[in-house]
Every structure is written in structure tokens, then in C-alpha cells.
Structure 1
């Protein structure tokens, strides 16, 4: 029986403040400060030789793939010394650290005490050096052998009344090879309960694009960004989240592209770029990026795109065939007439008001698009993590269909993925809703009958834990608790598990909020040498633009007791499926070439995988939509227009919209430091950015301490002790960092169709901070 909640370690970061310093936000990104910050972290964590040497191999042909974002590497002209960004260097510093956690560390530190630290402090402790086990009722993790760990897991899985009582999570760091054997084991075990990090980020993209163009991926290459006419960047902050994108934008600008930025915040990386690899950048001369910056309200993007469509439609009436690509519309789309009936009735003034933008600015954007067809639209979480995220993706597609801006060079759809191999995971069949033909192929190649019923995604897995339907959770990487919504709800759900298992490189909060039993399986990092049978292996990853390439670690692992992810899956499979498996797991465990051979048999586009992945720079996966062919379930070779609706946000007088954001000093849930220097926020994370007019109207002042409340479906959720910072953000809009404000994101507030948590729009009330009596915490 699970322990009572009040006895459990803390699920949230401690309510403590540092010495906040606020400076003027920057109007440019990168430059010499980015170089300095990169090397400061590397030197602190790895010393003067280990880390810097690895940096020169990161993202190079024949080197290793950065474990940070999924931005693609250039096909040809890669920088010989620095094909990485500040965040990539910080990610390497985190995993290449020489600090390690042995049994002695865990013996000295109780789980409850570790949970009192911030997520940053937990992560800074070092690499986990050996398998660890927390017995039921235990207060400290203790060492366990790999053999005993696998057999505990296998015995627990085999004790379940149904395979569907277990869920198997995957983070975006997992390689193609490990992901493939992982899903193979899970399906032979008998379930499709495979939640993954895509469920929390670009699931709206995958659903929306699949219904419009027949594939849930983008349609552009990096070279398209270099040679195009207009780039629209909406709901994305490349300077912090995908810094290497700035180089591509600079190259596009040099070749004549215009950039339209759409964001509630004026983000430095959308305004200017000081390229530290050029003489101009070193001298502090910036390239202006955004030609037009549209400071849209939170979730005002739909109104903006509809206003653009109306203005372009009016222009098309004045110049028939010169604004819309009528030939493309006739031959490649469906539903145009019905779609245009809606567009005809749009009121531009009302739409601009709903978007929070001056009509003149939207007209300027329409003029920039009017006679151009080589248009690329880039987006990320600001679009997908909304209730209308799927429809918003379809509305973006509507604009490209009107302009014929897809299936041609220099044009198309560019969802920018967050984690390094998150797109590859899905390609490798990590999905809770597999297609019948995919399952049939597994049966054909391996001979077992894969489960047909859909499994649980992330949100449904959390609810199933809460309802007692899941007894075991296995996490392949990531920090599930800190990444997911409704922190306390999720934590209470995870505490009901009988066993929680995490494959990890470093300690995180998910190890500290656990089931009755908990196991940590330490694994190699992307930069570590992976030696099997005396031979250094390589793995492969897929980037945001569908390129698959090899990744080969170069560093000596910090411990001899680490296993690679593929070996971990294979040993778990042998311990669980002993006597009834039809798969030769030792074949996979001993040689990744064998895994790739089987991937080539199962997944289209991976024929001759072992030969093609060894080519310098890898290879592109097939993408019919990139070539202008759209194979959707509803239409053959036609992309349908979609009729969508404006969101209706009814707000009480004291309501605010909150969007969760990353600091510049973090990647996903990994917190590197306390400096959000582009926004001028220093030495603090518990801040809420507010419009100065809102601060005054509410009777607050900058620097006031407040608590944030959400009351979705009548449930009170509270994020306590935040400092107000006056900021240039639309009225009634606010922003704060995650994971500290994930506690406010309701488990039932999700995007329609994709079930993606709505982390980019939470309705909150802001109240003066109230000190709680000691002992009132759980």
C-alpha cells in the first residue's frame, strides 16, 4: 500500500528567493557573452581538457550529436571549430561533468532531503555512477546489481494482471536504435502504453499536419531557409531554445529574405544576432533579424492568420491569380470554396483587435506576403500547447496552401522540434496509437501478435496512475514529474505506483517522487564512448528536418558500471520475457548493426540503413509532402483546407493569461543556472512578468511578492512566492518559468485532438503572497 501523501518528499521546487537583479532586456542574441557563458560551464564541470576537446567533435560529421535541441546540422559547410551553440555547450557540460554519485552519496542523503533542493541543485550533483534501489518504506537509495535490478523489474511486470497495467515513457534523448528495441519489447510484452515527450510538445503538430499533408513532420530543409523570400516565426524563441537557428536566419537575410516575428514578448533572438563566428559579430555588430515584429496577445495567433488571409483574399480580388496560387489550389488542394466562404466574411478590424495588433502592422505583413510564394512558416510550443493547437497548425497550413508555399524549394512548413531525437522516437514507432500497417509489419518480421488497442499517452497515463489502473512506470530518460502538467496531481498519481523505474544519466526530481519501490538505471550520455564487445559503437538520430545521421561518443564514461540504453532494454526484455520471447535480444545487445538491419526491414525509408547512415552527414528520410504529394486518409494527393474557429476567452476582471517559458539558462527541465540575461532577469527564477499598466491597476509594484492561483474546474492550484517584474508584454498577459509554474497547468486542460497540455495558456489570479505556517506543507 502506498504511503500517505504527507510523508512523501516534495514534488515542487522549494519556495525560496535569491537576490533578484533586473536589467534592461537585450535586443540581440549570442555574441561574445554566449561564448563566455559556454566555456564557463564547460570548464567548471569538466576541466580544461575533457569538455573543450569534446566540443570540437559535437555536431561534426563522424562526431556525436548534441543532446540538446533537434536543430539540423548543415549538409555541407559545418564550422570546423564550433558547430554548436551556448545551450549545446551547457548540455555537454551537464553530461560530461566529472562529478559522480556513488552509493556513498545516496547513503549520506535521504530522498526527502534531496527533494528539498531546487531542480538546478539536484541536477548539479553529478552523474549517477551505479544502479540504485529504493525499497518499499526506505528513506535512502541503496546499491543494487544490474542482474538483481532487471529481475526485480521483470518479476514486477510479470506479476501484473495485464500488460496494460504498465506504462513505458520515452524522452527525446533516446537514440533510434534504443527506441526501436524499446518499442519492440513493450509490444511483445503486450501493451501500447508508450507515452513520450512528443505528447507534451509537438503532438498538435503531428496530428494537424498528418490530417492536412499526410505526414506529421515539416516539409523544409535547412537549405530552404538559406534561400527563401519570407520567413514567419510564430510561437517560438530561437535565441534561447534553438540558438543555431540564428545562423540560418542570418544566412537567409543575407540572401534577401524578410522575417516576420510573432510573439507576445520581444525576444532578443528574434530581433538581432551577433554571430560570434564572424568578424562583424566579434566586433559587436549585429544583424537585424525581424523586419516586422508582431507582438500578438497570448493565443491571438489564430486571429492574426485569419486577418492575413482576409487581406490577401481582398488583394487577390484586385489582382486575380497574382496573390493566390490558383493552379496549386486547383490541382493540389480540396475544400477551397468552402474555406473562402468563411474568409469572405472576416472582419479585419475585429480580428486585429482580437490579436492585439494595430491594423496597419497586419496590413504590412500582408504586403510582405502578397506577391511571394517562397514562404516558410516556423513554429513551436507557443502554437502547439494551446487548446486550439491542432487547429492553429492547420491554419498555418491554410496560408501555405493559399500561396502554394509547399512542395517547392524555399517554401514550406517548419515545426521546430525541441529535443534532440524526439522526431526519431516517433519514426521508430514510439507511439501509443500505432497504425495497423505498422503492427502488421512487426508481426510479419518477428512472428508475435502486437497489441491492437491504443495505449495511454502522457496525460492519460497520469490519470491512469491516479485511478490505480497503472502499477508500474518505466521512464527511458527525461524528468517526467517536472516536465508534466499539474505537478501535485502528477506527483500524487506517481506515489500510487507499485514500482517506478528511470533510466537516467543524472539525478532529477522524478527519482525523488516515486512508487512503493524505485529503481534508477544509470546509462551512457550521448558524448560517452559506447564500447560493446571491445568495439566502439555508434547510434543514430533524426533531426527536425528528417535527416538521419550517426553519432559516436568520444569521452571516457565517468563510471564502469554504466550500460547503454539498448543493453538495458535487451536485458530487461530477457528478464521479463524469458521462455516466451521470439526475439533474439542478445543479437541486438551485442551489435547495433543488427538493430539497424531490423529497422530497415520494418520501417519504410530505412532500407540499407547501415550503409547510408555511415555516409558523411547521413541521409534524408522520404517526405512526399516536401515533393508536393499529399497522401492523407481523407484525400489522395490533395491537401484539404480547414475551417477553424476563433478561440473565445471569457475572463473575469481579475483574471490574467499566463504562458510558461524557458529561461535562457535552461533546456526543458534541466536548469543550467540563474541567468536569463536576454530578458534582463538575473539570479532568480521565481518571477512573473507583467505589463506595467496591469501592475498599477492591480495595486502592485515591481518587486512585490505574490502567489499565483488557477481555479480550472473548481480546483485550486497555487504557485507560491513569485516576484513581480515589470515587462513589455501585452495587457492581461503574463509569463513565468517552468517547471516552477507547471503546478498551475490543469491536467484536464489539453489541446483538442492531440491531448497536449495547454502550458502556453493558463488562466490565473494574482494575490499578495501569504506566508504559510511552518508544517502546513505536505
Structure 2
């Protein structure tokens, strides 16, 4: 573990720092030989899809992985093993005091385990008994809606399809999933505006764009392979305009580790031609300002006889709602826009000029847009910005929501959705011969509320780390503990195994890197990336344990045990994934010929109506919509209320913590930090590197509090804070979510800071959340 220190990083993203990190990961996991051999198969035709992010594969690079991809792969192929003997040598109460990093460091799970309440330990259990126990609990429920089926974005298309089929054959649409917690507003906003809930661009469009606008995203940490496309775009002269509260190194400079010249000379490529530090929550105002300015520029062009700025032919043919949209923008005072976003009028005008001058423009965004109360409104405003200049449905232009986990988009395509369409349910009925439930199910927040009320009694998690990822940590934990049974399908030990129901099971599964041998031979699974490419993923390594099952087989055996009268041949399907894909093709027309098409190197792209300028809306046209700026927060008497954004460190992916360093932000050996503007810190009379407690404030509710966080001076707007999650998740109230999407508003948490009462000596001692890994 690194020494605890703050040492701000001056170099570019990538470069030698990334290579040193890769070498460290290979040494730490004792895979110096196995690791490089495995990584050469990552994101390659005939190889496996990286278990990290959903950025598309280039299919042209011999080496197509990044530093954080190495961390994800190394964590999966580690030599360390979390055997029943090792896990069972500690009580669950003791394990609960460990940091997430230390739990991760135990290594791969090797056997199914069950919670022994009398001993407060996990003990090994036979697979047959584990499935029988799940069946007994499900069959004992009063109603199918007392079961909750959670899905992680790492789940393959084949596993997700079987999983939703199992749950619907059981009788429920309770499908909370990681989309509920991240990009739900993207799908809803784009669907309302463009008729599709997915991005309209393909990877090759980045090579054609004249301008790329990036909102609320940190690709250097969350999608490092994206930096390769941004680097090439910048080098050929494309303008990259970034809007983000924090200065993030990946959006500033990047040294490509695969560039001999940059590595030899210490050079780097500047990424953003303009970097605007918008106030947290100010993106909607920025977008409204850009749209307003386009009308002003169009007025000026008409006055002098210059070419129009707006694409009037496109607007007339393909859109509706423009008149009301224009009237609202013209009536909105610039003063209100500037006040709401925290940028200057000159900055907004400059950004609009870049967009107006681009023949082809792409707008990208991440959870800095979607985890806000006004998230759906912001996504709809992005769509409106693109529509004004016809930047949808042409090469080098379009909407690009950059999603997180590797198959989060594919899971939704496969039917992991608590609000399924009638057409989809009709097709399931016709293909499988049962009547699926029609009532809407629980999303993530509703599932937590139902468990807290005692109305949901069985929780099954297909991957992920629900207890750590969900908001309102203490409420979520109490809800899970009310369950009669919690089941976690996992590769490694995590927080959710320690926050369990009265009975609990851990079911260890194969990883993406491992050979999946079934009755008809080795199998490949499929995934869908952020840009709707579907491709095969085939593991190359011997499984970490002979006792592991694949995710499709785990689902099939659960279904066969719980639904003994089902007409679905569950076990036969899991014995040959081609059979699953044939059924997928019968349910979804876009997957016709699935098995043949996916075996073409690189796979195939799903059709996108908006990319073809076909608008699957009620009117058959793309929709403009009026979006009001949020009202200003009332002043708080006697205390300064900040807006806190939860962020990832560079040493984590989602809730998986690989290490305790955040190299690009200069934080080493620790995670309990809060980034603050130095002038705000001085205004509060707090010392540099002082310790504070953080309390979220929602009306009169000051009950959510986390203690002892280190203040770190950082370049971000006044009144804004940032801190790592899941450590800051306890501050996010269940009721604080995106309007119309119910995604936790984790990037806009109102908080106050108070000095921590610890003595200086105690403040220097590491706390449990910063404890050393087990092998340190």
C-alpha cells in the first residue's frame, strides 16, 4: 500500500505512469507470465471482451487494452484464491470491518458458500443444495413480486436473456439493474427526443467529426481507450470542448503508451481545445445557453446574407416543437443562464461558435449529466442542440452517451427492464408458451423500499455489488438484512456478501477471461458495447477453480430447480449457447441470423433508426422540448451548503477498488478525502489537510453523516465538492433522484462540512476503510 500523501500529478494521462501501473498490477497479482499472454487476447476477434468498460473495440489494433482494463483483467486472473477455508476463517462481523480493497485482495472465489448464522461465517455448500435452497425460498413466497432479480452490467447477453426469462416465467418484472443507477436518463431522454434510447454514433464517426463536445465525463479513468480516439481527433485538428467541474488530466493531455515517439520524448497530445469548469448541476444551463446562442448567430447570418446557422431544411422535414422551443430560449435571460452554470457569457459564446462552425459534431456525456435531478431535461437539451444543426443521422455526428460497465446496454436490449413493452411480452408469450406478467416491476429504488417494508423477501444479484453501489447506504443495508434470502453470483468477495439476509448464498461464476466448457464444447458469450456493436467473447484461461459454473448455467439451474413444471429446457439451453442465441433471434427481429452474424470478426451493429433519420416517436418526427432551468436553492441560514459530486478514483472501477491511489488527482494511500476549492476552505476557517465530517441536508433532514474526511485543495468551482464513492454513498437520499428517471442524483448532493473532533495524533492513524490488503 502506498504511503498516505497528497502529491499533485503534473504529467499527462497515460504515458510511463500507465506502464508502471500495468507492471505493478502484474506483480501484485503474481501473473507476470500469464497476464501479458491473456491481455493480448483482450478485445480481439476470437478473444474475450474486457470486463471493464463498454467502449467499442477498434478491431484494428494488435494491442487494444488500457491501464484500467489491465486492472480489471488482473483482478480476474489473479493467483489469489478466496477459498471457503480462507473466507470461513473470519466471521462476517470481522470481514465487515475490512475495506473494499482488502476484500477484493482475497482473490477469486472457488466454491459455493452459505451463511452459517450460528457461527457468523460462510461455509461451503454443494451446488445442488444451493439451488434447492433458492427454489424452496422462491416457492414459499406469497406472490412472485416478493422476489427481486438484480442485474449487473457485466452479465452477458445469453445470461441476461435466460435471467429475464426465468424471472418472468416465475411471474415478476422486478428487475432493478445498474442502468437504474447510471444512464437511465440517457435512454429516457433520447427515446423521447429521437425515438431511440441508444447513442446514434459508431466508432468510425470519431475519425470524421470536426468538433467533439464532452459533458460530465472523465475518460482518463472511466474509459481510457476513448483517449485514443480523442488523441487522433485532436491531432488532425478537430476541436474538443469539455465541460466538467473538476480539471481531469485525461481531458487535458494524453501520452499514448503505444506511441514510441511520445514515450521516447516525454511528449503528449493536448486533448481539449477549450475546458470549461461548469458549476456542478449547471450543464442544463450551459446547453440552454448554447442553443440560445445558435438562434442569435442565425439571426446575424440572415441579417448579412450569410449561410444559415440552423439547418432549416432538416428542421422542417424531420422535427416538430421548434417554435415553442425557440420562444422559450429567446425569453430566457442570459443573466439567469450565466448564474446557473457558473461560466461567463464569453465562454458560452465561444463554445457556441465552435459548434456553429462544425460541419460534423458529436456530443458525448457520462454520469456527470445523468446523476442529477435535471438529468432527463439535460439529455433532451443535448438532443435539441444536435437537432438544430442536423447533427443526427449523418457521418461524423450524433449523440454519444458513454456507458459504463461492459454489457449494461446489452442487458437492457435482452429485456432486463422493469417496464417491458407489450410487444416484447407478446413475443415472449408466443415463443415460450406462457403468459408473462404485465404489471411494472421494481426499479432499484423501489426494490430497496420494498425490501425495507418487508414486502420483498428474496434478493438475487446477478453480479455487481448492490449493497455498496446503491444510494442511502444504511437504508439499503437495513433493507437487505430484512430479506429471508439473499443470493450473490460473483467472482470475488465484496461488500454485498457481508450485508445479507437471514440466509445467504455466494455462487461463484466463471470470469470473462476463462474457458467456458459446456456439454457441447467451449462456449462464447456475446456483449453489446456503447455503440450497439454485438460481438463474441471467448475466454482463454483455465478457470480459477473446477467448481465454478458459468452465469448461464447458474441461471438455468436456478430456473430448473424453482420451476420444475416449466416447458423451457433450461439445462439444454445452458449446454449450448447457440441454442440461447437462436431463441434471442426469435424474440428480437434485430438479431435475425444471430449465430452466423456474430461469428463474423468484430460482430455486427444493431440498427439505429435515428442514425438513419427515422424517428420512432408518436409523430414520426424528432421532438424539441422546452426545459426550464432549475430554481436557485434558497440560502441556508447560518451555514454554507455545498454541492457534492461522487466520483471514482483512478484505482477503481464502479465499486471495485483495485488500490488506494488516485494518481491523476494526486491522492495516494487513502480514499477518505473531499476535494474543495482553497478559497472555500479558507472561508470556512478550516486548515489545509484538515479533517471534516460531511452531512447531507435535504430540507430539515440532517441524519445522513459520514466522518473524518481529509480536505484536499483542488481546482473546481466555488461551492462545489467531490468525494469518492462508495464512501460517500451514505449521503445520497433515496428520494434524491432524477426527475422522471429515478436515477440517484449522486452528482448533486447538498452537504455541509464541520470540523472533525479527532485529535491530530488520532487523525494520522489509518482507519478501517484504509486498512492494508490481506497480502500487504
CA contact (8 A) 2:201 2:611 kept: yes
Structure 1: distance between partners of 2:582 and 2:56: 24
Q: 1:660 aligns with which of 646, 649, 656?
A: 646
Q: 2:512 aligns with which of 507, 516, 526?
A: 526
2:370 paired residue number: 384
1:306 paired residue number: 288
1:240 paired residue number: 221
Q: 1:364 aligns with which of 344, 347, 350?
A: 350
Q: Measure how far apart 1:97 and its partner are.
A: 0.7
Structure 2: distance between partners of 1:29 and 1:575: 50
Q: 2:115 aligns with which of 125, 134, 150?
A: 134
- Give 5+ residue unaligned stretches, structure 1: 1-16
2:726 paired residue number: 739
Q: Does 1:413 align with 2:391?
A: no
Alignment of 1:331-480 (within 5 A): 331-480=317-466
Structure 1: distance between partners of 2:590 and 2:233: 30
Q: Measure how far apart 1:771 and its partner are.
A: 4.7
Q: Measure how far apart 1:27 and its partner are.
A: 5.7
Q: Secondary structure at the match of 1:764?
A: strand
Alignment of 1:8-27 (within 5 A): 19-26=3-10
Q: Does 1:190 align with 2:175?
A: no
Superposed CA deviations along residues 132-166 of structure 1, whole A, max 9, x for unmatched, are 00144440011100000000000100000000000
1:28 paired residue number: 12
Structure 2: distance between partners of 1:764 and 1:173: 33
Q: Does 1:614 align with 2:595?
A: no
Q: Secondary structure at the match of 2:72?
A: helix
Q: Measure how far apart 1:535 and its partner are.
A: 1.5
CA contact (8 A) 2:2 2:661 kept: no
Q: 2:130 aligns with which of 107, 125, 149?
A: 149
CA contact (8 A) 1:227 1:255 kept: no
Q: Does 1:103 align with 2:84?
A: yes
Structure 1: distance between partners of 2:216 and 2:632: 18
Structure 2: distance between partners of 1:649 and 1:421: 37
Alignment of 1:186-335 (within 5 A): 186-282=167-263, 283-320=265-302, 322-335=308-321
Q: Measure how far apart 1:47 and its partner are.
A: 2.1
Q: Measure how far apart 1:35 and its partner are.
A: 1.4
- Give 5+ residue unaligned stretches, structure 2: 763-767, 769-776
Q: Secondary structure at the match of 1:327?
A: helix
Alignment of 1:533-572 (within 5 A): 533=519, 535-572=521-558
Superposed CA deviations along residues 512-534 of structure 1, whole A, max 9, x for unmatched, are 01000000000000001111126
Q: 1:94 aligns with which of 75, 82, 88?
A: 75
Q: Measure how far apart 1:613 and its partner are.
A: 0.5
Q: How high is the TM-score relative to the length of structure 2? A: 0.95
Q: Secondary structure at the match of 2:591?
A: coil
Q: Does 1:639 align with 2:602?
A: no
Q: Does 1:594 align with 2:575?
A: no
2:98 paired residue number: 117
CA contact (8 A) 1:311 1:348 kept: no
Q: Secondary structure at the match of 1:712?
A: coil
| Bigger shift: residues 133-142 or 404-413 | 133-142
Structure 2: distance between partners of 1:712 and 1:347: 29
Q: 1:727 aligns with which of 710, 714, 721?
A: 714
| Bigger shift: residues 164-173 or 321-330 | 321-330
Structure 2: distance between partners of 1:47 and 1:527: 14
Q: Measure how far apart 1:98 and its partner are.
A: 1.4
CA contact (8 A) 1:530 1:536 kept: yes
Structure 2: distance between partners of 1:47 and 1:107: 26
Structure 1: distance between partners of 2:20 and 2:714: 27
Change in Cα spacing, 1:27 to 1:19, as seen in structure 2 (3 Å) is closer
CA contact (8 A) 1:234 1:378 kept: yes
Q: Secondary structure at the match of 1:648?
A: coil
Structure 1: distance between partners of 2:626 and 2:511: 45
Alpha-carbon RMSD across the aligned residues, in angstroms, is 1.5
Q: Does 1:37 align with 2:21?
A: yes
Structure 2: distance between partners of 1:43 and 1:24: 25
2:771 paired residue number: none
Q: Measure how far apart 1:367 and its partner are.
A: 1.3
Q: Measure how far apart 1:226 and its partner are.
A: 1.3
1:13 paired residue number: none
1:758 paired residue number: 745
Aligned length: 752
2:772 paired residue number: none
Q: 2:39 aligns with which of 55, 60, 64?
A: 55
Q: Secondary structure at the match of 2:86?
A: helix
Q: Measure how far apart 1:19 and its partner are.
A: 5.0
| Bigger shift: residues 51-60 or 129-138 | 129-138
Q: Measure how far apart 1:325 and its partner are.
A: 0.5
1:65 paired residue number: 49
Change in Cα spacing, 1:543 to 1:433, as seen in structure 2 (3 Å) is same
Structure 2: distance between partners of 1:347 and 1:534: 67
